[in-house]
Structure 1
Amino acid sequence: MEAQPNGYVSELENELIEIIKGVVLPEMSGTHEQCIYKVPQIIRKANPQAYTPQTISIGPFHSPRGSISDNNNLHQMEELKQKYLKGFLNRTNICVRDLVSKFQEWENKIRNCYAGLVSFDSKDFLKIIIVDACFIIEHFLRTVSYTNWKGNDPIFLKARLFKDIFNDLILLENQLPFFVLEEIYKFANINLQLPSFISITIKYFQYFNHQNINSEGLHPKHFTDLLRTFFLPSSFDFAQGEMGHAIEHLYSVSQLSEAGLVFEVSESKCLFDLKLDMGVLKMPRFEVHDKTELYMRNILAFEECHFSYQDSAFISQYLIMLDFLINTEKDVSILVDKKIIVNWMSDVNAVATMVNTLCKNVTMPRFNLKYLSLCQKLNGFYENPRNKYKAIFIHEYFDTPWKIASTITAVLLVLFTLIQAVCSIWSLVKS
């Protein structure tokens, strides 16, 4: 190949220098603090609305400040946030200058929590964080003393608005670092009259706290992380167990049921607490409603983005197992009949569709050895020749009402034919 003229080399050199000038490398010291992510597009496309705030934006990713947004709700809520900011300042008598000064100290630490590109300059960025942080704290404080505010607070006057804000505060892309909220709460000395901010937060999200986890030793990174914590086993022997490989196959609920496996609802409040004993699989109750997909998707997205090698993707493990167990409406119906799934969506097909799409494009995690052992035992139960042939027989002859009717008709026909033959032979012998 001929050498290019010196002019060409010089021009290329200058272009590369210009490219390098425009590149900002992330600070390696801050990457371990990242905990708020933009959901990867390959996951987002399955249901974009499940990750996008519909009523109120929190943090820089969806802020309408300085940008054109087609969601009028987000713009309208900015005025309400400002009223809450004033209410918070009046409540605490904090000097605005002192508040700004505190946030300036934390700016780099706050920025490091966001894994996506934050294009706002220092002034606009801090303005977003301050207004949103004060709004959340004031909103939570009013919720704690609901009886004093129910006739005056604009959010409490509209039940639907409260629910919509509640749902938006769960979204992964719509978060503030939790330490910011705690530090401002302490700075305002509110903890002298009221419980800690983590206690107030747990009370706000109590709907998800089926295990009644308390605030002791709890340090969530943000609200999405807190919801995930509510689902983790309290003993943590599951979380600290060894990790194995991913599971490749698991028979469905209907297949296992036809093979003779009995499904029972467990008294445990932890979703992960699946136990197989003497042909009985005990599963904790799982309530499914119209917002289950929203919070499960965001917890899954957090696990996908935050945990290296997916070793700690505990929610993902449970939902992938559930995806294997549930393939059709029949699988859901069995679990509903056993009161393992409480279906508030009324449509069993909607539940099956939701479960089958939740983990779409999510990285298959490595499974805890307890789950791997459980899957192997369930597959082994079905593949036991006696159970397998029993399942095949039930599937072939008793799977649907029509098959049951046909089978019974055929059996009766054979029986009547046999009786007729016996009677005929008996008549011949007798004569």
Structure 2
Amino acid sequence: MLQNVQPPEMDEIFMQCIYKVPLNIREYNPKVYAPQIVSIGPYHHNSFGAMEELKLKYLKGFLNRTQQPIREFAVKIKELEETIRSCYEGTIKYDSDEFLEIILVDACFIIELFLRWNKLGDWMKKDPLFLQPMALEEILKDLLLLENQLPFFVFEQLYNLSGMNEKFLDITFNFFESKSLGNVCPRESPKHFTDLLRCSIISSSKLGLGKQEEDQVIKHVYSASQLMEAGLKFEVCPNKSFLDLTYSKHGVLSMPILNIHDNTELLFRNMMAYEHCHLSSTNIVTQYVVILDFLINTEKDVNILVDKKISVNWTGDANKVVTTINHLT
């Protein structure tokens, strides 16, 4: 029986970058891995009927904007179909026509969304999506979920056909900037939006974890309160990436500012899941979360980091921060 099982081609393995989060990872909080308002790509397709109608309206808006026939974009997706399929883990249940439609509609919806965000104006008063800031916020979060992705090259290929001047990577980063934890746009195209979030952190890193060896394991770090009692001083460093932790021989731990908010768990969990699943990915973000888990054990630890301006607790609840951080690892 096993003789008939064909292993995936090596090219397919290396193309894979979009995964279903393993059950042992998602079991603690499945909600942070599943879209809440908009499904993108084949894994969660057609989960939200109302959004499918809005996608078609945005598709029409994109075609009107570009003055290009839909056939031109459809042909490009068809040319890329095999490559796109190879980016997804597992077998995609949709046939060629269904798959083409999913990718085309979802990609054009997102491109048009980003273009509208990039050029805000009076038209917003007529767009139901931009009249609902909370809905837009939920969409932004959904677009960062590992299971809710399209390959980034799909957007670039369609965007290039549209004749727009600005780079798609730039308008993408502009849309996600409020959620980016690194605030530096990567120079190279990411594999997808989850990868963009992670790359924005690594790209802005100058020191610290971003430069550690791939197989280096962090075994133990004392909590913030224990370190302070031992005489260690905390200091904010100006680097943009929170990965840039440094310790000086003078007993000073320097850390960039980390903003902790209601979406912190979602962002970290999806980046960590991506690091876990992706063959060519290092575990830099996961290492950082392990350090946070050591540093933060009690509300006192949270309050120390806030008092030293190293952390900004937007949740307003120190105990919630402790629970969130301690359950990430």
Structure 1 length-normalised TM? 0.72
- The one-letter code sitting in structure 2 at the alignment partner of 1:288 is I
In 2, Cα distance between equivalents of 1:324 and 1:139: 40
- One of 290, 295, 308 as aligned partner of 2:267: 295
RMSD: 1.9
Alignment of 1:379-398 (within 5 A): none
**8 Å Cα contact 2:204/2:240 also seen in 1:** no
Query: Post-superposition shift, 1:45?
Result: 0.7
In 2, Cα distance between equivalents of 1:24 and 1:153: 49
**8 Å Cα contact 1:307/1:313 also seen in 2:** no
In 2, Cα distance between equivalents of 1:82 and 1:211: 33
1:138 paired with 2:112, answer: yes
Alignment of 1:107-146 (within 5 A): 107-146=81-120
1:328 paired with 2:285, answer: no
- One of 155, 158, 162 as aligned partner of 1:181: 155
**8 Å Cα contact 1:208/1:230 also seen in 2:** no
- One of 55, 61, 72 as aligned partner of 1:98: 72
Cα distance change of structure 1 residues 45 and 62 upon mapping to structure 2, 3 Å threshold:
same
2:63 aligned partner: 89
- The one-letter code sitting in structure 1 at the alignment partner of 2:274 is F
Name structure 2 gaps, 5 residues minimum. Answer: none
1:58 paired with 2:40, answer: yes
In 1, Cα distance between equivalents of 2:215 and 2:327: 24
In 1, Cα distance between equivalents of 2:177 and 2:303: 29
Residues 20-56 of structure 1: per-residue CA shift (max 9 Å, x gap): 76x5643332210111111111010111000000000
1:196 aligned partner: 167
Over 6 Å off, 4+ runs: none
1:283 aligned partner: 255
- One of 204, 225, 235 as aligned partner of 2:195: 225
- The one-letter code sitting in structure 1 at the alignment partner of 2:115 is L
In 1, Cα distance between equivalents of 2:28 and 2:204: 32
Cα distance change of structure 1 residues 28 and 84 upon mapping to structure 2, 3 Å threshold:
same
1:32 paired with 2:14, answer: yes
In 2, Cα distance between equivalents of 1:99 and 1:233: 32
Which segment is superposed worse, 166-175 or 85-94? 85-94
Residues 358-402 of structure 1: per-residue CA shift (max 9 Å, x gap): 12xxxxxxxxxxxxxxxxxxxxxxxxxxxxxxxxxxxxxxxxxxx
Structure 2 length-normalised TM? 0.94
Number of residue-to-residue matches in the alignment: 327
1:403 aligned partner: none
Residues 310-367 of structure 1: per-residue CA shift (max 9 Å, x gap): 6x211111110111111111211111111211101111011011111112xxxxxxxx
In 1, Cα distance between equivalents of 2:238 and 2:267: 23
- One of 18, 24, 28 as aligned partner of 1:42: 24
Query: Post-superposition shift, 1:94?
Result: 1.8
In 2, Cα distance between equivalents of 1:326 and 1:153: 43
- The one-letter code sitting in structure 2 at the alignment partner of 1:134 is C
What's the % identity of the aligned pairs? 51
SS of residue in 2 equivalent to 1:175: coil
Query: Post-superposition shift, 1:233?
Result: 4.8
In 2, Cα distance between equivalents of 1:209 and 1:51: 18
- One of 258, 261, 264 as aligned partner of 2:235: 264
Larger Rg: 1
